[in-house]
Amino acid sequence: MSYHYEIRNGEYYLMDGENILHVSEEIAIGFTYDPVEKTGVMHKHGRPEFVEKWTDETRKVYHDAGYHDMANEIMIIKGKLNIHELNKIISITGYIGKYYQRIHRRFKTLGK
């Protein structure tokens, strides 16, 4: 399997080789980010409603089990993402952590 995203007519196409798996106007990425180690693990990507549902359900399971820190480490990024960065996120293990650090720094800089 060779998953990758392409943009066609302003929409994101998730491809498996030449096969279209789904199409969406925006993309979401559900991941865990460890603020101490500054690392991330991607868990889900795709349509925002699908990833948001997974994120909400997973946080609830962790909170209900008393794992509040783990629940708070579950993050979601959604919107119109750069296609090059998006493909790196889904193909390079741990890249989401570096990407999150970079955008987090940008937003902190903008807020000053």
Environment class of residue 98 by beta-carbon count within 10 Å: exposed (0-12), middle (13-18) or buried (19+)?
middle
Q: By the 8 A CB rule, do 6 and 13 touch?
A: yes
In a domain, 69, yes or no: yes
Tell me what percent of the residues of the chain surpass a pLDDT of 70: 95
pLDDT, tens digit, 9 for 90 and up, residues 35-89: 889 999 999 999 999 999 999 999 999 999 999 999 999 999 999 999 999 999 9
In a domain, 12, yes or no: no
In a domain, 66, yes or no: yes
In a domain, 75, yes or no: yes
Position 1 confidence tier, pLDDT thresholds 50, 70, 90: low
Question: Quick one: tokens of 16?
Answer: 């498996």
Measured in whole angstroms, the distance separating CA 93 from the mean position of its chain's CA atoms is: 12
In a domain, 79, yes or no: yes
In a domain, 6, yes or no: no
**Using CA atoms, how far apart are residues 32 and 41, in angstroms rounded to an integer?**
5
